[in-house]
Structure 1
Amino acid sequence: MIAKILRAILPARLRPSGYLENLVRTHTDGRIRCGPFTGMRYNAGADGRVHLPKLLGIYERELNGCFEQACALNFPLVIDVGAAEGYYAVGMALRNPKARVIAFEAESKSRVALGEKARLNNVESRVEICGKCEPEDLKRALMGTQRPFLICDVEGYEAVLLNPAAVLPLRRAFILVELHEFIERGITEKIRERFVATHKIAQIWQQERTIADFPFKDFYMRWLPESYLHWAVSESRPERMSWFWMKPIHATA
């Protein structure tokens, strides 16, 4: 009821959602506020509202340690499958100026947004943008590199792509994969079984976001229902998610 009243009487920029978006963009100047990609220029694009958690630096913050490790390892090749609008592909190109980045993304609208973000951050010459990734595409991308870093978020298609029997170079890759149990039950154990002999596997669980994660306060926000702050920091996941951070056994202590 309150939301309907506010929409009826307030201009878009003063409606709760628009106000929070403007507040975040003003305070961050359109740059990611904290985390492994601090300072990266980030405009709203194909990802829609999820750009707020990214600008705030809290998007998938459970993985910050993984990305700091990855940056310290100075991978010559970073492959991002399911790159969306380029948060990780562009971020890794910024953090690793000597790395080549290959970004696979099936959606044309997202590929356009990815290209825009690469240009916005002056890394377009090192980010190769490709379409949908099939096992043969992944095999070709991995060939010839002894220490590749693979980021994978493909809405359940990891069951097809992450098969070292079909894509042999996966055995030497460092892999960070989001697991989509809500799409295919049992996929977590399936992936674990495929890599347990060759990789050290750590499972990382999604953490809850709260209104305390929204760092900017002003007088107007005192009157906002808390649901809007939850909206601003939420990643809108269907259930609690997890990731595997998989490092080749021969490359770990």
Structure 2
Amino acid sequence: MSIHQRAFTAISAIMAKRGATEGAMSDVFEFLLHYRCLLINNTIIKQGGGRVHGGPFAGMILHDPVNRMQAPQLLGCYEGELHEIVQAIPDAGYQHLINIGCGEGYYAIGIKRMAPQIEVWAHDIDPEAQRKCREAAALNGVDIHVGGIFDPQSFAQHAGYRTLVWCDVEGAEEMLLDPARYPALAGMDILVELHSTDAGHTRDSVPARFGDTHDIEILQPRGYAFDMPDWLRDGSQLNQLLARLEWRGSATPWAMMRARGT
């Protein structure tokens, strides 16, 4: 069954079960957004061969991106609010990068390609993500350390090195980034995505812990004017908008916290 047939069958099932209600129409609309984004994603792959088109990681090969929501990564416009930080990394003097919540290695591998002098540790709790990260590293010809759940006691092993902690752990930053428990963090630069939790949003708790030791910049998600491939630039505005859609479910600002005196 083709992707188009599967989409038609799914929409028909929604309408048959729920009828022409507002809730059903909302579900159909969101389903069609996913469907259209998958088509755009696959067109990007067909046109560009699975390589990142632009941005800081231009030329990087993504791992098996077919039928997935990776269009912003493939185009190079993903999380544009971080691009200036990423572009500055090769000249920032970092020796170690600890990427906690690495997923399939988009940032760990991308940064290693940009700055081969940095030793990279990439951690994720999902064994499948770990596997794909290793395979993607091999595809891109880089050597990084890939591991499972990160033990925060390990921060101490990176003390004395110029270290950047890159953290995207869906709310677990509340537990992980605590300089009172893990004092090595006081001397490290930290880039963390801040999420909602049952206890509240971590933007209201995590950065405050570093106020005495770090200069803190809050980065809000924003649009990014990127260099589109010709076929997308010359096409419909709807496709251009959907191609950069990042499917954020809630507000997830980033905090860039730079250790003073480093």
The TM-score range, normalised by the shorter chain, is: 0.7 to 0.9
Q: Secondary structure at the match of 2:193?
A: strand
Q: 1:172 aligns with which of 187, 190, 195?
A: 187
Contact 1:93 1:101 in 2 (8 A): yes
Return closer, same or farther for 1:84/1:183 CA change in 2, 3 Å cut-off: farther
Aligned-pair CA distance for 1:69: 1.9
Q: 1:24 aligns with which of 39, 44, 66?
A: 44
CA distance in 1, matches of 2:224, 2:109: 25
Aligned-pair CA distance for 1:161: 0.8
Q: 2:97 aligns with which of 75, 78, 98?
A: 78
Aligned-pair CA distance for 1:4: 7.3
The equivalent residue for 1:146 is 161
The equivalent residue for 1:159 is 174
CA distance in 1, matches of 2:71, 2:119: 28
Count of matched residue pairs: 235
Q: 1:57 aligns with which of 72, 76, 91?
A: 76
Q: 1:37 aligns with which of 50, 57, 62?
A: 57
**Structure 1 residue 105 corresponds to structure 2 residue 113:** no
Identity across matched positions, percent: 28
Return closer, same or farther for 1:236/1:16 CA change in 2, 3 Å cut-off: closer
Q: Secondary structure at the match of 1:93?
A: helix
TM-score, normalization: structure 1? 0.81
The equivalent residue for 1:12 is none
CA distance in 1, matches of 2:6, 2:227: 24
Give the AA of the match of 1:28: G
Aligned-pair CA distance for 1:177: 0.4
The equivalent residue for 1:238 is 249
Query: Structure 1 stretches of 5 or more lacking a match?
Result: 10-14
Query: Structure 2 stretches of 5 or more lacking a match?
Result: 10-34
CA distance in 2, matches of 1:176, 1:17: 29
